[in-house]
Amino acid sequence: MENYDVLVIGGGITGIESSLSLGDAGFRVLLVEKEPSIGGVMAQLSKVFPTTDCAACITTPKMAEVSHHPNIKVMTYCEVKEIYKEGEGKFRVKILKKPRYVKEDACIGCQRCEFACPIYVPKEYEFGLIGRKAAYIPSDIASPRKALIDLDNCTMCGRCERACPTEAIDFLQKPEEIELEVKSVIIATGFKIFPAHLKREYGYGEFKNVLHALEMERILAPTRPYHWILRPSDGKIPDRIAYVLCVGSRDKSIGNPACSRVCCMYSIKQAILLSAALPIADITIYYMDIRAYGKGFEEFYNTAIDMGIMFVKGRVSRIDELENGDLKLRVENMEDGSVIDAEHDLVILATGLISDPSIKDVFKNVDLQLDPYGFVNPVSENTNPVLTNVKGVFVAGCAAGPKDIPDSIVEADAAAAQCMDYLYEVGAKIVEVR
């Protein structure tokens, strides 16, 4: 049975940062990611706020470093199914390795299987804005750059198998269960975005020109699916763009009265990028409150105002689609109580961050405490935000609640530091860092 010092659950920027800190300190780390590639949501972003630095330029070097680190083993397309605490410094872990139907050690990432495949389905990395093949590599910056076969949509035509130069296709692969032992665990499972279709009055999923914020991130990204900023329904360049804030946040009607913290700023960031790319476009942000609480956030907000972006303090009660694909918003102006109808040709819903409480079910013989919203509940949010109620288990990033990227990275390093203290306590041995 394999042994590691630390199991890091989640291969986003938080999990990567924690793994690198621990690996550099000489501890053996196992990083497990349920998707086919590490990188998480940050790898899909256009830029970060408030600096508007390139998100991929920050993420991809760390993705490469963690993949090639001598003290870190990365397992992608795997899920942690069970964790049993068996004493101080000992956790027994069961991991499900899902079949790629491609031999990872033989695949060279040439994409010939993808070019040969005749089947198109919505591409998850682009949130379905464009298609992918049934045999595919998840993205241009995927790590590992290994193909996989979507057997649910595969017609078994054999074209990928014939095209593969290294005979890596293996349709006989089956799910594999792996058991191992670790001394400690870091939970870096991140967040889920609020399912925008639950706000039926906004027409998401019914009106093609109503998008959620991460879809807009992809349209703005340098590797954008349409190669320019176009609205999905007809390829028109939008010139009247609206943002609707607090969709799925601060909303008791859908069971989430809490603020997601990042929606105001990522909406302002996107509006600034749109204004720079489409100088004559009218951009309006409908909001309840602008929460610009971080370093440089207020200045970022003022920059948006100076660029001509309109801020309307009002709640959007409903969205209707017009015959030409444009959208009519019914808005209650919160400053004077009036009700206005405004027409836009593209609407972006600033969807909030919600939890993935399934991590609680992974721990079988200990009770991992969650907060009322389903995030991992630290022992003390103010004095020790990375320590959980289970000794030897730590949490970082959005797994403990909504936060921005700098705060997630700070927590990743804090969790790694406290994990090191615990490992010293239970007698873990440091290996040489090459």
Instruction: Give dist(CA 369, CA 378) in Å, integer.
Output: 8
Q: Would you say residue 349 lies in a domain? A: yes
Do 244 and 332 have their domain in common? yes
Close Cβ partners of 33 (under 8 Å, ≥ 6 residues apart): 10, 11, 15, 74, 75, 76, 77, 78
Do 203 and 336 have their domain in common? yes
pLDDT for res 381: 82
Instruction: Give dist(CA 10, CA 7) in Å, integer.
Output: 10
Do 312 and 368 have their domain in common? no
Q: Would you say residue 284 lies in a domain? A: yes
Do 124 and 91 have their domain in common? no
Instruction: Give dist(CA 12, CA 399) in Å, integer.
Output: 11
Do 251 and 326 have their domain in common? yes
Q: What are the structure tokens assigned to 208, written together?
A: 């093609």
Do 23 and 120 have their domain in common? no
How many separate domains does the chain show? 3
Do 47 and 157 have their domain in common? no
Q: Would you say residue 434 lies in a domain? A: no
pLDDT for res 330: 97
Q: Which of 140, 174, 208 marks a domain boundary?
A: 174
- What is the pTM for the complete model shown? 0.96
Close Cβ partners of 220 (under 8 Å, ≥ 6 residues apart): 46, 47, 229, 270, 273, 274, 277
Instruction: Give dist(CA 408, CA 427) in Å, integer.
Output: 28
Could you identify the residue written with the tokens 């999905």? 232
Instruction: Give dist(CA 38, CA 12) in Å, integer.
Output: 6
Q: Would you say residue 211 lies in a domain? A: yes
**What phi, psi does 23 have (nearest 5°)?**
-65, -40
Q: Which of 353, 386, 414 marks a domain boundary?
A: 353
Do 381 and 316 have their domain in common? no
Do 187 and 198 have their domain in common? no
Of 262, 213, 268, 212, the closest CA to residue 408 belongs to 262
Instruction: Give dist(CA 86, CA 43) in Å, integer.
Output: 36
Q: Would you say residue 287 lies in a domain? A: yes
Give the domain range for residue 421: 2-97+176-191+355-425
Q: Would you say residue 392 lies in a domain? A: yes
Q: Would you say residue 430 lies in a domain? A: no
**What phi, psi does 231 have (nearest 5°)?**
-85, 145
- The CA dihedral of 384, 91, 175, 398, to the nearest 10 degrees, is 0
In order along its 434 residues, the chain shows pLDDT tens digits of: 789 999 999 999 999 999 999 999 999 999 999 999 999 999 999 999 999 999 999 999 999 999 999 999 999 999 999 999 998 999 999 999 999 999 999 999 999 999 999 999 999 999 999 999 999 999 999 999 999 999 999 999 999 999 999 999 999 999 999 999 999 999 999 999 999 999 999 999 999 999 999 999 999 998 889 989 999 999 999 999 999 999 999 999 898 999 999 999 999 999 999 999 999 999 999 999 999 989 999 999 999 999 999 999 999 999 999 999 999 999 999 988 899 999 999 999 999 999 999 999 999 999 999 999 999 999 988 889 999 999 999 999 999 999 999 999 999 999 999 999 999 998 877 765 54
Do 170 and 182 have their domain in common? no
pLDDT for res 433: 55
Q: Which of 305, 329, 353 marks a domain boundary?
A: 353
